[in-house]
Amino acid sequence: MSILKTVSKTHLAVVSVMLTVVSASANASDIDQVINDTVQPITDALASFIFYSVTVAGAEVPLIVCWLILGALFFTVYFKFINLRGFKHAIDIVSGRYADPDHPGEVSHFQALTTAVSGTVGIGNIAGVAIVVSLGGPGAIFWLIVAGLLGMATKFVECTLGVKYRKQNPDGSVSGGPMYYLQRGFEARGMPRIGKGLGMFFAASIVVGCLGIGNMFQSNQAFAQIVEVSGGATSILSDKGWLIGIILAVCVGIIIIGGIKSIGKVTEKLVPFMVLLYVTGALVVIGINYQAIPGAFYAIFTQAFSSEGMTGGIVGIMILGFQRAAFSNEAGLGSAAIAHSAVQTNEPLTEGYVALLEPFIDTVVICTITGLVLITSFPTETLMGSGMSGIEMTSAAFESRISWSPIPLSIAATLFAFSTMIAWAYYGIKGWTYLFGEGRRKEHVFSLIFCIFIVIGSSVQLSAILDLADALIFVMALPNLIGLFIMAPEVKKDLEIYWAAHKG
């Protein structure tokens, strides 16, 4: 009964604050401008640092992308292509072959995986791929696939460490992620202050960052899709962003207030459904375009090494693909390790294996299928010169073959956005409790804040806030990868012990 009262009070508070936000938005455009003008200088300074680029062979190369890709390449080689060797074992684990309900943790391997996948599979899988193809042509898909495969090794390391250094709370719940393995891992090496500082930096970044990439951007794009499919500018919902935001916020709030167990129960059903819905529709379009499939694969592989088509030639195409993959599957950012840390297991490496499936699903499968839909539907000249980009281009590709496809595509896009929000809410909660202490009340405070920002995101156009949040998300890769490099030898040693026992 007390739980029901807590839920009721929390949601009454959410609705009350949301109505206040709505009533105060009469001059929303003016408020947007004031906020953007205030935050823009901070955003520009941080973004210029995080996304600092150097020119290589005529192409602008963001150093943060190089940092993520070099990390992925290092872990792939260092762990002897664990991303390929460990694939079958990962499937065995996630299917429940080694599950034990008596092991510490809160969710199953499958629930941990679906929660993490729900955080990475988002609007970017539909819109982001189209942007990459429109800029770099079909060849960018090849490098996107390569980067996705390499990212599997990074996820293996960070999620293994997430479980190894997680914290067991008195109420049986679990807290884990980079902030914990940075703190405890450096502490074990005699550097407690550095570890604590890096952990707090990471936690603060994800608390603020999750309100952008995992919240406002998602609710904004979900609203845009709903308006588009319901009539566009003439839709009755075109000026009702606040209403869509409230509905999304209440739905998200009901789920996240129950913690990772509630989130896991939802994602284990939602993620397979939404992925199946989107992939099935995409495969139907590709099937209709079957005559163009050989040419599509030929274009992907040959144009990946072409010096034509964009500024920077081969390097430019490569960076575009790598950048989209890094932004999509988040390997190296450490966010997914927070969800994977809640798994029921007494062996951290089992979740490392499960985690390597995540970039494969998100990038190698879903992003590649989106690319094939585009390439088989339109000639390269159209893709790179139509003036369309993002979800508009993907929607046009679907609609060119199936006239009514924008409706299921819109449903899939909205589900992608919704699933991303519930996963990132959990990431934000764990960052918040790391900074301010564990406790249900403190979790509810952040849940309330998160839900309010859902309404804000669907109602206004705070571009400076979104840019700031994006920069903070990617700055997390700096401390996270430093920790992964330092702790990689211990993971490798644990891996040798694990396989010696497993084979015995």
pLDDT tens string 249-281: 999 999 988 888 888 888 888 888 888 888 898
Q: What is the pLDDT of residue 29?
A: 53
Q: What is the pLDDT of residue 14?
A: 46
Rounded Cα gap, residues 423 and 385, in angstroms: 36
Tokens of 449: 């804040």
Q: What is the pLDDT of residue 215?
A: 85
Instruction: Please report how the helices 440-459 and 2-23 are oriented relative to each other, as an axis angle in degrees rounded to 10.
Output: 30
The answer to whether residues 123 and 217 touch, using CB atoms and an 8 Å cutoff, is: yes
DSSP letters, 357-421, are HHHIIIIIIIIHHHHHHHHHHS-HHHHHHSS--THHHHHHHHHHH-TTTHHHHHHHHHHHHHHHH
The mean pLDDT of 164-169, rounded to a whole number, is: 90
Q: What is the pLDDT of residue 261?
A: 85
Where do the structural domains in the chain lie, given as residue ranges? Answer: 30-503
Q: Which candidate, 337, 266, 264, places its Cα nearest to that of 108?
A: 264
DSSP letters, 96-150, are TTT--TTSSSSB-HHHHHHHHHHHHSSGGGTHHHHHHHHHH-THHHHHHHHHHHH
Rounded Cα gap, residues 333 and 476, in angstroms: 6
HSE toward the beta carbon, residue 5, CA cutoff 13 A: 3
The answer to whether residues 147 and 326 touch, using CB atoms and an 8 Å cutoff, is: yes
Tokens of 330: 């988040």
Tell me the backbone φ, ψ of residue 343, rounded to 5 degrees.
-70, 150
Q: Which candidate, 413, 372, 379, 385, places its Cα nearest to that of 141?
A: 372
Q: Which candidate, 198, 82, 104, places its Cα nearest to that of 494?
A: 82
Reply yes or no on whether the pLDDT at 430 is more than 90: yes
Rounded Cα gap, residues 175 and 287, in angstroms: 45
Reply yes or no on whether the pLDDT at 124 is more than 90: no
Reply yes or no on whether the pLDDT at 25 is more than 50: no
Q: What is the pLDDT of residue 325?
A: 74
For 159-204, where are the E strands, in sequence order? 167-168, 174-175
**Where does 30-503 sit in CATH, by number?**
1.20.1740.10
Tell me the backbone φ, ψ of residue 393, rounded to 5 degrees.
-70, -45
Rounded Cα gap, residues 312 and 304, in angstroms: 12
Rounded Cα gap, residues 102 and 116, in angstroms: 23
The answer to whether residues 418 and 294 touch, using CB atoms and an 8 Å cutoff, is: no
Reply yes or no on whether the pLDDT at 311 is more than 50: no
Reply yes or no on whether the pLDDT at 188 is more than 60: yes
Q: Which of 6-20, 22-36, 163-177, 459-473 shows the lowest mean pLDDT across its residues?
A: 6-20
Grade residue 319 by pLDDT with cuts at 50, 70 and 90: confident
* Residues in the chain, overall count: 504
224 strand-pairing partners? none
Grade residue 164 by pLDDT with cuts at 50, 70 and 90: very high
pTM of the model: 0.86
In order of 114, 285, 295, the CA distances from 121 in angstroms are 10, 20, 28
pLDDT tens string 321-357: 777 777 777 888 899 899 999 998 889 999 999 999 9
Reply yes or no on whether the pLDDT at 362 is more than 50: yes
- The helix/strand/coil state of 39 is helix
Grade residue 313 by pLDDT with cuts at 50, 70 and 90: low
Largest Cα–Cα distance of the chain, in whole Å? Answer: 69
User: In angstroms, how far is CA 287 from the centroid of its own chain?
Assistant: 28
Pairing between strand 59-62 and 167-168?
A: unpaired
Higher pLDDT, 394 or 445: 445
Q: Cβ–Cβ contacts within 10 Å for residue 234, how many?
A: 8
In order of 20, 99, 205, 266, 344, the CA distances from 423 in angstroms are 26, 23, 16, 10, 18
Q: What is the pLDDT of residue 80?
A: 93
Rounded Cα gap, residues 354 and 160, in angstroms: 9
Return all residues near 122 (Cβ < 8 A) that are at least 6 apart.
218, 416, 417, 419, 420
